[in-house]
Structure 1
């Protein structure tokens, strides 16, 4: 288990540049196997999930090369192979290979997906979509077997609940199916627009991404001609904005699409954070007087579930109580006991997180049991007096691009002892 050690209580300043969106990248990498030609991706974040996906590509005979922030993938010699349970359980987004393999070969055998333990995340809507497209779905030990013996065909699919994963997986399966597919009650996240842009630039015919109705006309083949640049990571951006508001003496957060963060920025300003929102960056001024807010997560364009945890330490500085209700993942509370170890006045009552004013945090030994909870502990450690040791810090590396380098550039006192990415 890797450790991140932070000597807190220091004011941070300078600038930080946000990397490519993790949630776009982990969908687009599986999508590359739908191409009949090599693919180049720019602004790819240096995170553990990228390397895990590259390992899975290697198992299928797909060559890849990752230098700086450019990832080159050559799927021309791909062969159909089951993706083993062990590797697939390393990250949730591995389930996107279900849709892309089904679209490419008409068959997929994929282990049950893993990822962070933040409560139930069923894939029934994914399966519903695959069946509507003509697939037969069964289980074999620890794997899901999806086959389309007569090929995939277009269909009208209404999602019973808004699901980013199901929307993406159905797009991946339908983009090379025969006929027209219409996804209703689709998720609207910017990462879905990014995926559709990538596929359309290769010859796909996808319209309506970013709205609740997506229309896909299947095509026979996809061919990449130009490099695709991944959009900036709005969750990484929100994390650094929270960090800057909590311990910053003036921090510039660069490479931001502000409209992707509208709900989050509104809450920062309601808290009392002084922001200067610019064309592609945001400057966070030093803050003193903050007031409590109420946060309720919801599908995009609402407040993102992935940002409730990184925002929590900042709420401890407010002069009144704040509350958080996560309607997406109500059990996303594993960071709360760890913050309490550091002296935070915080508790969960009937599914609502209550965050009370806390005069100071004290360094402690804590556990980062998942990505965003780890980010919350990282922000809290920077706020705290003394030394905080974050165990299982490899989970933070799964979601945050070059985080040690970026924190150090902001004058944080932070070290990392793992063999994972820094």
Structure 2
């Protein structure tokens, strides 16, 4: 594991270029194995999850090459093999290989996924969708084995019991080569779903309605990549740096963003009193004056993203008046960062899974632990705000989700170094 050492209290200034969306990338890489020709992805973030997925591709005899921000994947000699338990446990998005392998081979054998510990994240909706398509789902010695009938998967009318990004992705991947029409109701509407559908459609898929709650898929026999696909900018990374800029920035400009993907987040920071110039593909954040507390309630897109409730918490800590409230309706147990922030001097309580933030905190450096990606981002921002030195253990979790984060922070003037944690 790695640790991040931050000497905080420095004012940050300059430009940040946002990378491709992590949550798109981890779906697009498994989706690439549906292609019968090489795939080129542009604007790929340099994060550990990409390295982990490339390792899983290698286990299926799929070659890949990552140069700068371009990832080339050649699945033409892919082989159906059970995926190693250890690697599957390293990231939750590995379960997208379940839908992709089912769509490509009519069978998948995948260990139960791992990933961040942010509370219960059942995958029964994934299984429900695949069973509607005709697949048989079995748990054999802790391994998920999904198999299509001899005649193959057939399109179906599927209604998710609850909106789920993961289930929406997996059902699309399985249905895109199924015979006939699939209608998916109560589908997730996130921009990353639209990005996946765009990628697949450019390979010959017939997907309509991505970005709405009803997605229609006409199955096709074969997918072939012809042109490179550019991944959308990462709205979570953008929101994280925007929070940082509002906390301790002396003029920070975020580049390569899609502002409409951040509408709910921007509305909240504007309500706090953050002064910004919002353009189509950039946001300039002015130095902040006195900020006011707000209430944040996470919701499925286009609501406030659960992945941004932790990165906005240090910004709330910096507010001078009012009481801050954070309610996560997606993952109510996503509160482990609060204990670590309180070690640094924050005045935060958790009551019945509701986060209550009191003004007047003065943060000082401490030794803390990043339990997962966004908790790590919250601690990183707090460390940059704090007086003295902060040591973040398990910093691999930050590196899993944030593109070239050490380099980007240094370019803004931060004193940040990542080491192996002995």
Q: Do Structure 1 and Structure 2 share a fold, with TM-score over 0.5?
A: yes
What is the aligned partner in structure 1 of residue 318 from structure 2? 317
What is the aligned partner in structure 2 of residue 350 from structure 1? 352
User: Deviations 1:28-54 (Å, cap 9, x if unpaired)?
Assistant: 000000000000000000000001000
What is the aligned partner in structure 2 of residue 222 from structure 1? 223
C-alpha distance in 2 between matches for 1:75 and 1:302: 36
**Pairwise mapping of residues 196-275 of structure 1 onto structure 2 (< 5 A)?**
196-275=197-276
C-alpha distance in 2 between matches for 1:327 and 1:363: 31
What is the aligned partner in structure 2 of residue 383 from structure 1? 385
Q: Secondary structure at the match of 2:331?
A: coil
The one of 403, 415, 418 aligned to 1:416: 418
C-alpha distance in 1 between matches for 2:63 and 2:280: 37
Contact (CA 8 Å) 2:239, 2:265: kept in 1 or not? yes
Deviation at 1:317, TM superposition (A): 1.5
What is the aligned partner in structure 2 of residue 292 from structure 1? 293
Deviation at 1:358, TM superposition (A): 2.8
Contact (CA 8 Å) 1:26, 1:50: kept in 2 or not? yes
Contact (CA 8 Å) 1:394, 1:418: kept in 2 or not? no
What is the aligned partner in structure 2 of residue 51 from structure 1? 51
What is the aligned-residue RMSD (CA, Å)? 0.7
Does 1:191 pair with 2:192?
Answer: yes
User: Deviations 1:334-389 (Å, cap 9, x if unpaired)?
Assistant: 00000000000001011210011134100000000100000000000000000000
C-alpha distance in 1 between matches for 2:95 and 2:28: 12
Aligned residues: 419
What is the aligned partner in structure 1 of residue 338 from structure 2? 336
Contact (CA 8 Å) 2:314, 2:378: kept in 1 or not? yes
What is the aligned partner in structure 1 of residue 154 from structure 2? 153
C-alpha distance in 2 between matches for 1:203 and 1:363: 53
Does 1:75 pair with 2:75?
Answer: yes
User: Deviations 1:146-194 (Å, cap 9, x if unpaired)?
Assistant: 0012210000000000000000000000000100000000000000000
What is the aligned partner in structure 2 of residue 37 from structure 1? 37
C-alpha distance in 2 between matches for 1:396 and 1:358: 27
C-alpha distance in 1 between matches for 2:244 and 2:167: 32
Gaps of 5+ in 1: none
Contact (CA 8 Å) 2:347, 2:361: kept in 1 or not? no
Q: Secondary structure at the match of 1:417?
A: strand
Does 1:7 pair with 2:10?
Answer: no
C-alpha distance in 2 between matches for 1:27 and 1:130: 17
User: Deviations 1:172-224 (Å, cap 9, x if unpaired)?
Assistant: 00000100000000000000000000000000000000000000000000111
Gaps of 5+ in 2: none
Deviation at 1:84, TM superposition (A): 1.9
C-alpha distance in 1 between matches for 2:406 and 2:12: 14
TM-score, structure 2 normalization: 0.99
C-alpha distance in 2 between matches for 1:399 and 1:102: 27
Does 1:121 pair with 2:121?
Answer: yes
C-alpha distance in 2 between matches for 1:267 and 1:334: 23
C-alpha distance in 2 between matches for 1:320 and 1:130: 48
C-alpha distance in 2 between matches for 1:78 and 1:54: 13
Contact (CA 8 Å) 2:3, 2:394: kept in 1 or not? yes
C-alpha distance in 1 between matches for 2:217 and 2:361: 54
Contact (CA 8 Å) 1:19, 1:401: kept in 2 or not? yes
Q: Secondary structure at the match of 1:4?
A: strand
What is the aligned partner in structure 2 of residue 169 from structure 1? 170
Deviation at 1:141, TM superposition (A): 1.2
Q: Secondary structure at the match of 1:45?
A: coil
C-alpha distance in 2 between matches for 1:400 and 1:273: 23
What is the aligned partner in structure 2 of residue 305 from structure 1? 306
Contact (CA 8 Å) 2:295, 2:325: kept in 1 or not? yes
C-alpha distance in 1 between matches for 2:374 and 2:317: 17
C-alpha distance in 1 between matches for 2:41 and 2:198: 12
Contact (CA 8 Å) 1:12, 1:247: kept in 2 or not? yes
Contact (CA 8 Å) 2:335, 2:353: kept in 1 or not? no
Runs of 4+ deviating beyond 6 Å? none
